[in-house]
Amino acid sequence: MIDFFWNLGSFIIALGMLITAHEYGHFWVARRCGVKVERFSIGFGKAIWRKVGKDGTEYVLALIPLGGYVKMLDERVDDVPEELKDQAFNRKTVWQRIAIVAAGPLANFLFAIIALYFMYLIGVPSLKPVIDTTILGTPAAQIQVDEPMQITSVGGQSVKNWEEVTYALVAHIGDPKVELTLTPISGMTDVNDSPPVTQGQKYTLNTESWHFDPDKESPITSLGLGIYRPAITPVLGLVSPDGAAAAAGIEVGDTLVAMDGAPYLDWEEFVEVIKSSPNRPVDITIKRAGEQLKFVVTPQERENAQGKIEGVIGIAPTQAAWPENMKLQLEYGFIESFVVAADKTWQLVDVSFKMIGKLFTGDISVKNLSGPISIAQGAGNSANYGLVYFLGFLALISVNLGIINLLPLPVLDGGHLLYYFIEVITGRPVPEKVQEIGFRFGAAMLLMLMSVALFNDFSRL
């Protein structure tokens, strides 16, 4: 229940900021173009706060925080007094109307740059994209890894951490091949030391049969890249208080020695035995303060993602420290942060447009669409990790909000822009009846997409 309210609160804060940025873009440009703005509302429904400013605009905070709007004076909607007609939206030139409508999505892109600017100014702890193996039967199997190797570019695009690798790989879904550049990480000691993209071995992977389910795996592992992780130690770093291990007397700091009389050799092997033993007692020997102790633990049963029953005892091991030469601190100066933030925003825009295109070509399934529930979970999770990660999340969602609004659906900003550009070409406005038909079609399409996204959200719960 606490997670629910945390996610909900983070979602409301995130969405409120993004909607405010979007609507303020419309508002600011409309005012500069001489349009009278009657209402600036964040949210829909009943107003929980309102105030009329000196400019005559009514500022409203409404009950339902799932959108917002800027109500401008418009003769097509209301009767406008003769003395105010020059301030009506419909009386403005087509290029002024285009500027007002486009300002909303552009404000979202600017918001993303600002969020990323502060994220990079604060600094983001990260990890270099290092692999130590590849998986047989996958596109990456042709890569021979004799020592840890750092991925320095994907498809010719420089990458510094795993997040950038993920975005770069996703952009190549459906492509027949993808090129990776890898460089041995041995010899690098400085935290921010990265080899130039021009160095290293290039590999061209055949990805014609590459498919993956983002709900179950990442593009990295599905491609066959084995992510380097420090060795797992037999010392327990977590013992769940309501788990079977805690009930038997096992504690944090205990060292696994044996199970059912067989010496402990590998964590993965240990986990497999526990999973295969629901409700069946197992003998676990541990070392505590130099003394060996034996406990009888009966794994509790749970249903996994495939619907199978497996055992669980509620423990997790500790992991060796990350080598310093594999850590990365993405932190830049006052000016450089802006340049990096703008470049990152452009990359997000580019990837997002490519993803939309791949939805239409069928390279990406509509099952990958996410709705408000997934966004709320993402907001809560990123907020849990700290401010810099929440800022990164805000930037990503802001870019997506801007792009969605640019889609040529008549109910969205992109649909209005389509009509206005037709007016630029033909020299006359699109007929009202045609616009009305388009609005109905756009509303139906938007409702369908929202329904699919919500269905996907509920199926992931």
Q: Which residues lie across from 295 on neighbouring strands?
A: 284
Task: Flag whether pLDDT at 453 surpasses 70.
Answer: no
Cα–Cα distance for residue pair 203/179, rounded to 1 Å: 6
Count CB-CB contacts under 10 A for residue 86. 13
Residue positions annotated with a catalytic role: 23
Q: What does the block give as tokens for 457?
A: 């959200």
What pLDDT is recorded for position 291?
92
Range scoring the smallest mean pLDDT among 64-68, 79-83, 237-241, 376-380: 376-380
pLDDT category, 366, cuts 50, 70, 90? low
Cα–Cα distance for residue pair 288/295, rounded to 1 Å: 12
What pLDDT is recorded for position 307?
74
Instruction: Please report the DSSP string for 357-391 in residue order.
Output: HHHHHTSS-GGG---HHHHHHHHHHHHHH-HHHHH
What pLDDT is recorded for position 322?
86
Q: How much is the average pLDDT of 388-407?
A: 89
pLDDT in tens, 229-286: 888 899 999 999 989 999 999 999 999 999 998 999 889 899 999 999 999 999 999 9
DSSP three-state, residue 310: strand
What pLDDT is recorded for position 372?
56
Contact 457, 368 (CB under 8 A): no
Task: Flag whether pLDDT at 84 surpasses 80.
Answer: yes
pLDDT in tens, 122-161: 998 888 999 999 988 888 888 888 889 999 999 888 899 8
Q: Does domain 232-319 have CATH number 3.30.365.10?
A: no
pLDDT category, 399, cuts 50, 70, 90? very high
Q: What is the mean pLDDT of the chain?
A: 85
Instruction: Please report the DSSP string for 60-89 in residue order.
Output: EEEEEEEEEEEEE--TTTS---GGGGGG-G
pLDDT in tens, 431-452: 888 878 877 877 777 777 667 6
Kindly calculate the radius of gyration of the chain based on its CA atoms and give it in whole angstroms. Answer: 27
Token match 């199997």: residue?
A: 141
pLDDT category, 454, cuts 50, 70, 90? low
Domain boundaries, the chain: 96-123+334-461, 126-230+321-330, 232-319
Question: CATH top-level class for 126-230+321-330?
Answer: mainly beta
Question: Are 126-230+321-330 and 232-319 equal in CATH topology?
Answer: yes
What pLDDT is recorded for position 364?
64
Amino acid 203 reads Y
What pLDDT is recorded for position 380?
65
pLDDT in tens, 162-212: 888 988 888 888 888 999 999 988 644 444 445 444 467 899 999 888 877
Task: Flag whether pLDDT at 294 surpasses 90.
Answer: yes
pLDDT category, 327, cuts 50, 70, 90? confident
